[in-house]
Amino acid sequence: MVKVFITGATGFIAQHIIKLLLEHGHQVVGSVRSQRKGEALLSRIPRQYAGQFKYEVVPELASPDAFDATLQRHRDIRFLFHTASPCTFDTVHHEQELIIPAVNGTRNIFEAAHKYCPHLKRIVITSSDSAIFSNVDERNNKLFFNEQSWNSMKYEDALGDSVSAYYMSKVLAEKSAWDFIATRKPVFDLVAVNPSYVYGPQAFECDPENLNVTSAMIGNLLKCKYQIEIGGYIDVRDIAKAHLFAMERDEARGRRLFMTNGYFSTQMMLDFINQHFPQLNLPKGNVGSGERDVSVLARVDNSATKQLLGWQFGSLETAVVDTVQQILDSRK
């Protein structure tokens, strides 16, 4: 059993990581933004693990020295997961709301870990495929990306809309993490996990009115709000397993795990929902046109990641069906 710290503990991905860590018998401390959110999370943790989980309140990850006081109370942590970052496309001041918190938050947690955690072996940062390609390059099927690729968008091109600013926030945050390792030579090393769009059920209870941005895409289909979205997909349960692998395995050291299992379009999701839940009588959209939607997307090769991890990733169909079933169950 080891003690592990995780930032953004209330998040969709973080809760899955926490669940796995608890199941593996680890002691987990998670940062949350308020006591109310911490208590709500604690109440969702299954009773048998209650003694293994604690929360710490860190209201704003980008505030100066945001994590210093907290990590001084947890000098004995062995691993740290940095998942917290604004993950929304609903912003007005894109630079202030997305880029600055992502970058300053990453710097803050690395600085605090370096100052106060002498036994820390590794940080696993939840980066994104947005650190691998820009939102423009992602939709250019003449381009090709793998674990070595970096989003090369220009800063000034990222400020005009929330999607571009989000992509910029992730590439700059991940670069600042690798730069910290290279220049400051801390006692800990680093692994980055780079997921494409993450889908699947919530780890604990599901509140269908308060879903994270990707789960809300499926929730919106159930509310007949249909908008074509395309990209790569990965099941959240594979993401959590990849974080645990990144923590536990020596061979993960210094790697970027590019977590993607093919393409999705919201039409594909709608087709799966209509096949599995015909009783919902949802609109059909343009049945079967999903493959055409995704034909514009850049080609990717994450075979190095797949080979390293060694398991088969979950399908889009399973992620969508499990998400919908959980939302329906939560309404009963």
Closest CB to ligand NAP among residues 82, 122: 82
Q: Is 175 in the site for ligand NAP (CB under 6 A)?
A: no
Applying CB under 6 A, what is the total number of residues that bind ligand NAP? Answer: 25
Q: Map the chain to HEC letters.
A: CCEEEEECCCCHHHHHHHHHHHHCCCEEEEEECCHHHHHHHHHHCCHHHHHHEEEEECCCCCCCCCCHHHHHCCCCCCEEEECCCCCCCCCCCHHHHHHHHHHHHHHHHHHHHHHHCCCCCEEEEECCHHHCCCCCHHHCCCCEEECCCCCCCCHHHHCCCHHHHHHHHHHHHHHHHHHHHHHHCCCCEEEEEEECEEECCCCCCCCCCCCCHHHHHHHHHHCCCCCCCEEEEEEHHHHHHHHHHHHHCHHHCCCEEEECCCEEEHHHHHHHHHHHCHHHCCCCCCCCCHHHHHCCCCEEECHHHHHHHCCCCCCHHHHHHHHHHHHHHHCC
Active site residue 121: no
Q: Is 285 in the site for ligand NAP (CB under 6 A)?
A: no
Q: Is 272 in the site for ligand NAP (CB under 6 A)?
A: no
Q: Is 39 in the site for ligand NAP (CB under 6 A)?
A: no
Among 4, 6, 10, 200, which residue sits at the site for ligand NAP (rule: CB under 6 A)? 10
Q: Is 45 in the site for ligand NAP (CB under 6 A)?
A: no
Q: Tell me how far, at minimum, the Cβ of 143 lies from ligand NAP, in Å.
A: 19
Among 5, 12, 81, 188, which residue sits at the site for ligand NAP (rule: CB under 6 A)? 12
Among 4, 8, 111, 298, which residue sits at the site for ligand NAP (rule: CB under 6 A)? 8
Closest CB to ligand NAP among residues 233, 275: 233
Q: Tell me how far, at minimum, the Cβ of 258 lies from ligand NAP, in Å.
A: 11
Among 37, 139, 175, 255, which residue sits at the site for ligand NAP (rule: CB under 6 A)? 37
Among 22, 45, 84, 103, which residue sits at the site for ligand NAP (rule: CB under 6 A)? 84
Residues taking part in catalysis? 170
Q: Would you tell me which residues interact with ligand NAP (CB under 6 A)? A: 8, 10-14, 33, 37, 60-62, 83-87, 101, 126, 128, 170, 195, 197-198, 212, 214
